Structure 1
Amino acid sequence: MQPHPFRQPAERPAAPPEEQRLGELRSVHGQRRHAALFHAARGALLLMFTSIIGAVIAGWRGFSLSLPFGIAGFAVLAAAALRHRGLRIELYEHGLVVARREGCEAVVFDDVDEVWFDLDRSSTPFGRFIFLRAIRLVEHSGQRRTVPVEVADGQEVARWVLQRCSRPLLDEARRAVKEGGVLTFGQVRLDAEGIAIRELRIAWAELSLVRLQSGRVVFFRGQTVFPWRTVDLDSVPHPTVFARLVAERAPRMEHDEVWAAWTG
């Protein structure tokens, strides 16, 4: 069975300039008021934790060896805060504008072919946390755009992009699967009978549980303790469409409420 193209870019006549296609302004989202403080605090925590671990394991020698790594991590997080200085996201009916200190970049939703998550995986002494840092957009032309969501009410920015760029594809994807097509999401292929993750394939009926959690979809076979396979949501295009299709086919589904909201 030949793979069904997930989406065929439509042929369009010459379009007017992007600014004329954006439509009505909906909202403006500036940099979070305490964004720099948050990154600095997280960096300080990383620096402290790295140094303490080094000292516990190998005394002061370990402390001196681990300190540079902690400082490097702190510098990376501080740079992230500085990078977003002056950031502003303008949401429009048919697109958005990413405004930075060095200039503005407009994106029209009709030009977007693929949507990808950019996830921030952070490990701290209190556990592992995953945040949606940005949404990466790939246009039909191949042009790549990054939309940071680390702004005031960034969840609304992400939700609007997903609603306009990914949500309209869900019915098309459902129809393709129902008609016997195979949909390809990166290294994952799924159809009405089952799912293939890289080289291994399994029928939907053979799955004992599928769990949506912390930026990934976890598949269990025969038991619910050790995963059969895991798919990170930042490794597939249109991750919300992918997660929804899996949820509709899985015989048993569990989910983290926060991440279920992104796929809902």
Structure 2
Amino acid sequence: MSAPYREPSPLPADPAPADEPVDIGPLRSSHAPQPDLTSTHRYVSLGLLAVSLGALWFFWNEERGLAAPFVAVALVAVVVAWARRPSRVDLHDRGLVVTRAGKSTTVAFDDVDEVWQELTVNDSSIIGRVAFLSALNLVERNGRRTRVPLDVAGALEIFERIDRACTYPLIADAEAAIDAGETLRFSDVSVTADAVTVGKRSIAWRELKLVRVQANQIALLKSQTVLPWATIAFDAVPHPGLFLRLVRRLAPEIEEDTGFRFGKTG
């Protein structure tokens, strides 16, 4: 597995043919969608209501052509409901299969170059800020991106399997690179043993008063502990688990203030 954080990513290779089989080993577990009455069912209900109103208009009014808008609304609702059908995730020994709207996508873990988190933040919780991890996006070396939903049964098993197979193998190489004085790049953030760079701004680790790990981000605090010098969102860097591990290793002082959940808000 490559280390995309050590050098600028090369130009993506030509994707493999769509019909080329991918060997990901035997099936380990299947993860069905969680019941969701607020998305797909909502559009189905809208479609049924539109059909009912259209039928009433057609049979009880002479201007039957005016029933057409109700039919159009029903068709749109059906199309949207079909497109928003929940996904299923099948975990295999060496990869996974995501099935959505009747289409299956196979990803081999060895082909994954980057792992990105998809987070939704809820600040209205009585326990403070909570981040919901709704999906992981897997970017392969050929540039293909696959969204792996986590609003399914057994989401923790999926998360841990991807982390173990795609991010964990990079840890030793990353720590060795830091010890050798290299610069590790995580999108717009760069890390060395001496400093961290966010965009075009850099600061030495020793100049930081505190690094606060929050539900959805890391806050770098320089001279006080209220207004951060910079914040780094976990969904703005690839392999956020690896990035956080390096920050914990390099920061002079860490404060943990996290609230983390799987699935959707609400």
* TM-score under structure 2 length normalisation: 0.71
**Alpha-carbon distance between aligned partners in 1 of 2:212 and 2:83, rounded to the nearest angstrom:** 35
User: Which residues of 2 match residues 160-171 of structure 1 at below 5 A?
Assistant: 160-171=161-172
Q: State how far apart, in whole Å, the 1-side matches of 2:20 and 2:156 are.
A: 24
Q: In the TM superposition, what is the alpha-carbon distance from 1:200 to its structure 2 partner?
A: 1.3
- SS for the counterpart of 1:205 is helix
Q: Which residue in the other structure is 1:216 paired with?
A: 217
* Stretches (4+) displaced over 6 A: 6-9, 38-41
Q: Quick one: distance in 2 between partners of 1:39 and 1:138? A: 27
Contact 1:88/1:99 (8 A) holds in 2: yes
Structure 1 residues 186 and 220, CA, compared in 2 at 3 Å: closer, same or farther? Answer: same
Amino acid at match of 1:221: K
The 3 A distance-change label for structure 1 pair 86 and 148 is: closer
Deviation string 1:203-253 (CA, Å, 9 cap, x unpaired) is: 111111111111111111122222111000000111111111011101111
Cα deviation, 1:85-115, whole Å, max 9, x if unaligned, reads 3521101111000012321110001111111
Please state which structure has a larger fraction of its residues in helix.
1
* Structure possessing the higher radius of gyration over alpha carbons: 2
Does the CA contact (< 8 Å) of 1:89 and 1:98 recur in 2?
Answer: yes
Question: Which runs of 5 or more residues in structure 2 are unaligned?
Answer: 43-79, 262-266
Is the Cα contact below 8 Å between 1:173 and 1:183 reproduced in 2? yes
| 1:114-125 matches, cutoff 5 A | 114-122=114-122, 124=124
Counterparts of 1:200 and 1:87 in 2: how far apart (Å)?
A: 40
Q: What do you get for the CA RMSD once the two structures are aligned?
A: 3.2
* 1:159 maps onto 2:160 in alignment: yes
Q: 1:18 to 1:137 in 2, by over 3 A?
A: farther
Tell me by how many angstroms 1:19 deviates.
Answer: 5.2
The DSSP-based 3-state class of the residue aligned with 1:156 is helix
Whole-angstrom distance in 1 between the partners of 2:9 and 2:173: 8
Q: Aligned partners of 2:130, 2:82: CA distance in 1, in Å?
A: 22
Higher relative contact order (CA 8 A, sep 6+): 2
Written as runs of structure 1 = structure 2, the 5 A alignment for 1:140-155 is 140-155=141-156
Equivalent-residue separation in structure 1 for 2:93 and 2:123 (angstroms)? 37
Sort the Cα spacing of 1:87 and 1:196 in 2 relative to 1 into closer, same or farther, 3 A.
Answer: same
Residue pairs, 1:1-264, within 5 angstroms: 4-5=6-7, 20-33=22-35, 35-36=36-37, 85-122=85-122, 124=124, 128-256=129-257, 258-259=259-260
Structure-2 change in CA distance of 1:160 and 1:6 (3 Å): farther
Cα distance, 1:258 vs structure 2: 5.0
Q: Which letter does structure 1 place at the counterpart of 2:157?
A: E
Shift of 1:37: 5.3
- CA drift of 1:8 comes to 8.1
CA distance in structure 2 between the partners assigned to 1:38 and 1:216 by the alignment: 28
